Structure 1
Amino acid sequence: MKSHFIPYFNRIILTLLMLISSFTVVFAQTRVSGVVTDAKTGQPMSYVTVSFAGTGIGAGTNAQGRYAISTTDDVKKIQVSFVGYRTVTRNIISGQEQTINISLTEDNHSLNEVIVRSGKKKKYSNKNNPAVELIRQVIAHKKQNQVENYNYAEYKQYERMNVSLSNLSDKFRNKKIFKNYQFLFREQADSTAIGGKTLLPVYQEEKLSDIYFRKDPYAKKQVITANKQVKYDENFVDNNGLKSYFERMYQDINIYDNNVSLLSNQLLSPIADNSPTFYKFFITDTLKDQQPNLIELSFTPRNTNNMLFEGRIYITMDGNYAVQNAFLTVNKNINLNFVRQMQANLSFEKNPDGRYHLSQSDLKIEFGINKEKGGGMYGERLVNVSDFVVNNPRPKKTYDGPSQEIAVNADDKNDAYWAMARPDTLDAASASIYKNIDSLQTIPSFKKTMDIATLVLAGYKNFGKFELGPANTFYSFNPVEGFRARIGGRSTTELSKRYYFETYGAYGTRDEKFKYFLSSTYSLNNKSIYSFPQNYIRASFQHDTKIPGQELQFVQESNFLLSFKRGVNDIWLYNDIFRLDYVHEFSNHFSYSLGLKKWNQTPAGALVYQNLLPNGVINNVDLLKTTELSAQVRWAPHERFYQGKLYRTPIPDKYPIFTLSYTQGIKGFWGGEYNYQNVIGNINKRFYLSQFGYTDVTTEGGYLFGKVPFPLLDIHHANQTYAFQLQSYNLMNFQEFVSDHYASIFIDHNFNGYLFNKVPLLKKLKLREIIDVKALWGGVREENNPANDPSLLRFPTNMGAGGVGTYTLGSTPYVEGSVGVGNIFKLLRVDLVKRFTYLDHPGAPEWGIRFFVKFDF
């Protein structure tokens, strides 16, 4: 009996195994992935529909042409289709995972179906237009389709930014100067989807981050867990500034925002609330062979010169009216400088609740001085989002603190870590750039080239531990000193990262006097004092000349070009200034500084200090002595800048900058002769107004407590050069107005060509119209007015032939305004300036023409 039972049992087991095997076949998953490319160009194709033939299961390719589809159904083929291309069908093996790459060829037969008819072209209208009705549905559903609609969201993000020299000819590559750099060209030659140009990578940055979002109270924090960046010699390049500059150029593109920031400008989103006013929309395709069904909606600017996109978006027809894919570019006529080509690809994934989130963005821009030919620069920023989780609240501390944090060991990740962490594989050129740039900087000829570039652009000649400069101050002239020769320099990080020294010496041929400057700085955080965040103590002494009330921006006072001034320019001071300063910046861009200043000033040129003695005799005062303690706090949230050799060059953005300063004059301390307190507050902000351009606004107010002579009052910033200065009064004379209390506003509005773009002839010139208004309210209290107290220094009046005097503001504010034309030759701005008030002052100009050189996109 036992012998009969065993075969029977074996048959049962065999039957069960066969049943399990059959179920495995039935329910096994078929997964197909690959890349779809254009057969002619070899470039990846976005938004191509890939589906299992005979089913509604499919997906579109992403920005890199990649796709991945899967099913448990019994399927035999996949189908690949795209408008204007031949549909391709490929056999697959059911129940297996497989990779199938596909090349699509253009469907030339479609040209035979074109029928040309004569007749009047139908005028585009929003009325009764199904494309416009569709975009209005998208706009109405925007809020529900944004990440900000969730109470909580978190995800992982990978970013990669590449910057390369582009369109390099063989003639350029074979020049003698590049003899030692051929390894770069050989290993890193590449081509791009937006131009097919040969590239030479020069910069790359990668970041891995954890992003946490909270709706109420609003918080969005990025925790950078890994970071890798190409770095150049600090003596030549500000690596952090370079990083900030590129990140500002290649920002996140959120199509759900009304305005999209691009290259310091804002372009109206095609799904902005008022987009039908500025765009034309067309339904160009319906994709029914994938789920959800999609409608391809193409759009173009009504005015091709305006700051607008063109391209196409793919709208889901599942009731969400969400954007699943978007392809954005710009018209060749757009009033955007130096941009040869721009392309942004956005892909969105569906969440379990049916809404969508951004899964990938790929922004490519190529720049060039000449838009049609010649060498240029190409950059690409790729962002991948993964592990998207909604409504999973974290502890409160997760969202608190600055919006961006960097993990302690973020910069220490090795190549093996990055190879595992990247969502894709780097091409050969990108993989070798870190090593190649390091090798490049060891080549003597490259160092020499960078040395020459630094001298030309920044004005400093590097000698290792010391650098000479700035070159543009070596020679200048003015009415007091005559011809002025100056030479100076400073130490570099090669000498020390903690100790810095700076000096210069100058001599005037007319006054025959030597001037000099000495400073010593100690860094408290073992970083360069020119690196952010700064934390240092500096002691300095200066014996030199100065113009009262001159406030220069991003330029030295002894710059040769500023020697040329309008009107009478003979109001000067000789100064002896000792300063002791402490500066402490924080990573959230809050900073404070403390200072001690001993200042001895002597009038020079036509300037005289005089008061009236009790016996009625005029007394000449040759020296004023003050000792001050000062404190300043500054907050610049999200500030970005490039740290040059002399100044930080701000990268404009929408965030305000707040500054509050306090100064305490102390009588009897270290020779100080006056007690006073001075409080000054300043707010600076840029307002973006979409298609109407942007407005830079600066407001400032100050109040001085105490009794002081007029040289210690607030001397308002005047400008007697021919350069247009945004933060100075361009038709005010030096030391023309003083106040002990004042309020001011500076408004500079750039229309970005909004008006000129509508004029047929002007729009080809890509000019930009500008309006500027400056107003100043102020006055001097009776206790500080020498008319009420003869012991105070008298206001100078009509000094010398044709000279000007010093005045107080009355009930009427000082007002000047200008209309300007910018973007002349893409660099020059010219303003016609008019002064509206106080025209009765001697030497007060009513009109003037001023020039401003500005590199802008």
Structure 2
Amino acid sequence: MLKAMTRYRYIILFLINLYPILLHAQEVTIKGRVLDKENDNPIAYAHVFFKGATQGATTDFNGNFVLEGERTSDTLRVTYIGYEDRELLLDKGQTDYRLTIKLTPTSVQMQEVVVSSRGYENPAWEILRKVVDNKKRNNLIRLKAYEYESYTRNELNLDNITEKFKKKKVVRDMIDAVERGGISIGEDGKPILPIFVSETISKQYFTNNPKRKTEFVERTKVTGVGVDDGSVVSQITGATFLEYNFYENWVGVLQKDFVSPIAESWKLFYDYELDFQTYEIDGIPCTRIKFEPKREQDLAFSGSMWITDEAHHYALKRIDVVVGKQANLNFVEQIRITQELIPVEEAWLPSQTRITLDIGEINDKWGGFLAKSYVANSNFVVNKERAAEFYSQSVRVREDAYEEDLAYNWDEVRQGSLTEEDMHIYQMIDTLKNLPRVKTLVDIVEFLINGYVNIAPGLNLGTYSQLYAYNDIEDSHFQVGFTTDVDFSRDWLFKGHLGYGIKDDRFKYDLSGTYFINRRRWMQAGIQYSNTLEQVGIYNDDEPLGTLFTAASRWGNLVFPFYNEVVKAWYQTDFGIGMTARVSLKRRDFDPLFPFEFINEDQDNKIQTDFTNVELVTEWMYAPGEKRIKTMYNTRIVVSTNDKPRFGLRYTYGIPDFLGSDFEYHKFQARIWQGFRLGAFGRLTYELEGGYILDILPFPLLETHQGNELAIFYSDRAFNLMRFGEFVSDRYASLRLEHNFAGMIMNRVPLFRRLKWRLFATANTVYGSLEDENREIVLSEPSDSKLKSLEDEPYTEVGYGVENIFKVLRVDFIHRLTQHDDESDRFGVKLSAKITF
């Protein structure tokens, strides 16, 4: 017995001494994925290795890695700049592992580079100079044209849910449904609720001289809470809105301009640190350079970039940038953009891009949002030039792109198969959007945003801002409107309203119908009939001032009120690139509710108190590069524009003796407007407009400059200290300026930086003239007592203010510099609401 025990002891001691040798010789395979602990986003380019070893594996763009070879330690180590190092103890004896490793973000200060009297400089600078010297060679804009196929996946989740928000019944229902569905809760114990996911297959086309682009959406798969119309969503879920070119000096992110780490002015904005290790990426030797802003208040990135060697002309191979809280963006906790590029005909084009947007808690009663986007590009074709007409639309969607097709195999076209968690997300969104409380909440939110409530498929009632008004003509005014949407018809749009005034005992109504001849070219024809109560100086049939402004202006004592009966027909189409043409024929009966007499020279100097005019209006607009999205209400909105100027021209001919018309006249109007960046100094927007009327007309047919007597509301289409109907012109020129400093000033003041307030300045001026004949034909008193011309001096007002108060409010402090009288206000304060980042 004793001998046996002694023998076993020797065997055990032998095995213990042999274990390091066996461990060293053991071949293992470790496959896994490295994720961000806070948002489960893949971490590309992380280093995975056995503790004590110098070599290992690097995660790919999707965070995946494979580590094969001899096992040299029981501890696996994972490192990446900007994250805490992670160590995992591996089970002994196992040779095949499948791991999901999550890293915790941290703040890492870069090492300081000391410049001595001998002239020592940062070793990264020499490489950066070569990168900048080769930018023109490597930048994709050097190509005449290029195109590729794109796969895009977008995902939106509700996260950072507060304890107060959890107590809401609708949120509790959603959390219960997610937990029942088996979706894992985050490591911090807080649930993440998926509310939207989309996949899109599209083709991107670009040309650089002149610069144009278009995206053709071939197939899109959309599911989300509150998302009903896939045709609308498919226009904004493709790759066209996820383009980032770090070779440009400025990179646009959330309507802000961030300086690129390889901009010509790189030394002014960034500190750099060279990683002396050489990385081989796709067989190309690369050097990593870490960077961070010199000043935290600057709109600049922090992160890393991988630069190729001399043989590949010091190109940008990979880049991983972060925008953190220091950027002072509204609601934004973090933005991360990771991009990988490949060489195509010597230029470098993006092959993969991943964007993560982390929206923090909006307030302590709500939660935040986590948005993820992934774009993979393939099948590149360069220098294949196409006709200019090909680029006429920024986004085109195949008619059946959003319709479900069971025969379509997404696994063959998407970049990689969906994970089990991805498939769960689709299932859970379908569950969440059918919860009764969620459906009710979605209806309420849609009503608040759009002003309409859906009462039947394709039919919507509204808007709430115009349901009631009180004024001196009608006393109480009640109104209800309606509009159809794409569920009613994609070819027809009907809309209108019916109102009634108690005091004047009169119905007011408006009805229009539009037929879409060709939706791709937005070719349409329509007809309208209306009989409404309007005001001279506020009514603008061609360019509405906005729903809230118009609704608020109908309260109180109306200025130059009149009944307005209109019959109108029009035709509109897009032609060329960024060009829109419109022609309309309109007959109007003007029935004033104020003292009004004029001499009609076109009718043998007849004295009239009302009139009828018939107009033929032709309009042309040129807006190169503007992105227009078709909405579910069969309208279009501009969601993104470049910095190019936009132009508009209008000619109006008053047709005499036609359908009872009293006048013949000619009107000309032209407008140019543009917004462009001024680098670190912010963004400037200007609008220049002019008009000329050739003939003698009563003042309601002249240019009555838009004033604003509303005590609270600010309007960017009005002169905000000018009274309604105060000035009239038959020829004029106006200029509007607004400069947003984008945090350049207030980000340097600690208090304002914490509040995230932003400073802006405005200046508006208009100069006009009025022919004596136009003055003399009006015989009634109001024109003499109130209407004035601008011949002696222009009207000028300047302003300044703060926006982003409580992340929504904007306050304008305005000074009227000229054209003072006893009734004018020389200073005013106006409020408006605008959500910006």
5+ residue gaps, structure 1 = 1-31, 91-97, 800-804
SS in 1 for 2:124: helix
1:328, distance to aligned residue in structure 2 (A):
1.0
Length-normalised TM-score, structure 2? 0.80
Match of 2:669, SS state, is strand
Who is 1:377 aligned against? 369
Paired with 2:721 and 2:431, the residues of 1 have a C-alpha distance of: 53
Q: How far, CA to CA, are the matches of 2:37 and 2:365 in structure 1?
A: 23
Residue pair 1:315, 1:321 contacting (<8 A) in 2 also: yes
Cα 1:680/1:360, change in 2 over 3 Å: same
Partners of 2:675 and 2:474 in 1: CA distance = 40
Question: 125, 128, 131: which one pairs with 2:124?
Answer: 131
Cα offset for 1:492? 5.7
**Amino acid aligned to 2:248:** D
CA positional deviation for 1:153: 4.2
Aligned 8 A contact 2:691 2:733 in 1? yes
Query: 8 Å contact 1:486–1:506 — kept in the other structure?
Result: yes
**More off after superposition, 671-680 vs 142-151:** 142-151
Alpha-carbon distance between aligned partners in 1 of 2:440 and 2:87, rounded to the nearest angstrom = 56
Task: Supply the AA of the counterpart residue of 1:819.
Answer: Y
Residue in 2 aligned with 1:37? 34
Q: Take 1:248 and 1:831, find their aligned partners in 2: how far apart are those partners?
A: 37
Partner of 2:641: 653
Partner of 1:670: 659
Partner of 1:273: 264
Amino acid in the other structure paired with 2:685: D
Give distance in 2, aligned partners of 1:380 and 1:819. Answer: 37
Q: For residues 534 and 446 of structure 1, do their structure 2 counterparts lie closer, same or farther at Cα, with a shift above 3 Å needed?
A: farther
User: How many residues in Structure 1 have an aligned counterpart in Structure 2?
Assistant: 781
The CA distance in 2 between the partners of 1:394 and 1:297, in whole Å, is 37
Give the distance between the partners of 1:489 and 1:405, measured in 2 at CA.
Answer: 28
What are the superposed Cα offsets for residues 591-644 of structure 1, whole Å, 9 maximum, x if unpaired?
333322222223335x5335599xxxx998431221222222334443235748
Shift of 1:426: 1.6
Q: What SS class does the counterpart of residue 547 from structure 2 fall into?
A: coil
Paired residues of 1:536 and 1:583 also in contact (CA < 8 A)? yes
Q: Does 1:332 align with 2:330?
A: no
Select which of 603, 621, 624 maps to 2:611.
624
Provide closer, same or farther for how the CA distance between residues 207 and 450 of structure 1 changes in structure 2, counting only shifts above 3 A. Answer: closer
Return the alpha-carbon distance in structure 1 between the equivalents of residues 270 and 504 of structure 2: 67
Give the residue type in structure 1 aligned to 2:156.
Answer: V
Q: Does 1:423 align with 2:423?
A: no
CA separation in 2, counterparts of 1:39 and 1:307? 24
> 1:458–1:644: 8 Å Cα contact kept in structure 2?
no
Question: In 1, are the aligned partners of 2:452 and 2:463 still within 8 Å (CA)?
Answer: yes
Cα distance in structure 2, aligned partners of 1:302 and 1:436? 44
| CA-to-aligned-CA distance 1:163-189 (integer Å, 9 cap, x gap) | 222234798678644687655564483
1:827 aligns with 2:817: no
Q: 803, 808, 817: which is aligned to 1:836? A: 817
Aligned partner letter, 1:264? Q
CA–CA distance in structure 1, aligned partners of residues 179 and 630 of structure 2: 28
Give distance in 2, aligned partners of 1:719 and 1:792.
24
472 and 429 in structure 1: CA distance in 2 versus 1, 3 angstrom threshold: farther
Query: Does the CA contact (< 8 Å) of 2:113 and 2:122 recur in 1?
Result: no
SS at match of 1:855: coil
TM-score by length of 1: 0.78
| Offset at residue 547 of structure 1 (A) | 4.0
% identical aligned pairs: 25
Q: Is the alpha carbon distance of 1:293 and 1:77 closer, same or farther for their aligned partners in structure 2, counting shifts above 3 Å?
A: farther
After superposition, the C-alpha distances for 1:643-688 in whole angstroms (9 at most, x for unaligned) are 4869865435325443322222122111110001212222332212
Spell out, residue by residue over 1:512-551, the C-alpha distance to the aligned partner (whole angstroms, 9 max, x if none).
3313113141434598xxx994624222122323242456
1:155 to 145, 148, 168: 148
Is the CA contact 1:165–1:375 (under 8 Å) kept in the aligned structure 2?
yes
Could you tell me which of 578, 581, 591 is aligned with 2:570?
581
User: Contact (CA 8 Å) 1:580, 1:596: kept in 2 or not?
Assistant: yes
Alpha-carbon displacement from aligned partner over 1:180-199 (angstroms, at most 9, x marks no partner): 76555644836789x99643
Closer, same or farther: CA 154–577 of 1 in aligned 2, 3 Å = closer
Q: Which residue of 1 aligns with 2:60?
A: 62
- The root-mean-square deviation of aligned C-alpha atoms, in Å, is 4.6
| TM-aligned CA deviation for residue 322 of structure 1 | 2.1
Mapping of 1:435-454 within 5 angstroms?
446-454=438-446
Whether 1:347 aligns to 2:337 is no
Query: Are 2:247 and 1:256 aligned?
Result: yes
Matching of residues 439-588 of structure 1 within 5 Å = 446-464=438-456, 466-490=459-483, 501-509=494-502, 511-525=503-517, 533=522, 535-549=524-538, 553-555=545-547, 559=551, 561-562=552-553, 570-584=559-573
Q: Is the 8 A contact 2:235 2:397 kept in 1?
A: no
Of 329, 349, 361, 1:357 maps to 349
Name the SS for the 1:463 alignment partner: strand
Residue type at the aligned position of 1:256: Y
Q: Is the 8 A contact 1:816 1:835 kept in 2?
A: yes
CA gap of 1:555–1:249, structure 2 versus 1, over 3 A, is farther
Superposition map of 1:92-107 within 5 A? none
**2: distance between equivalents of 1:610 and 1:691?**
55
Structure-2 change in CA distance of 1:723 and 1:249 (3 Å): farther
Alpha-carbon contact 2:324-2:333 (below 8 Å) kept: no
Deviates more, 1:580-589 or 1:758-767: 580-589
Contact 2:34 2:43 in 1 (8 A): yes
Other structure's SS at 2:247 match? coil
Code of the aligned partner of 2:450: A
Q: How does 1:700-739 map to 2 (within 5 A)?
A: 700-721=689-710, 722-739=712-729
Query: What CA distance in whole angstroms lies between the structure 1 residues aligned with 2:813 and 2:600?
Result: 43
User: What per-residue deviation string (whole Å, max 9, x for no partner) do you get for residues 33-61 of structure 1?
Assistant: 95453799987442135899xx9999853
1:203 CA displacement: 2.3
How many angstroms does 1:817 deviate by?
1.2
Task: Provide structure 2 residue ranges, at least 5 long, that are not aligned to the other structure.
Answer: 1-28
Query: Separation in 1 of the partners of 2:36 and 2:726?
Result: 72
Greater shift after overlay, 147-156 or 704-713?
A: 147-156
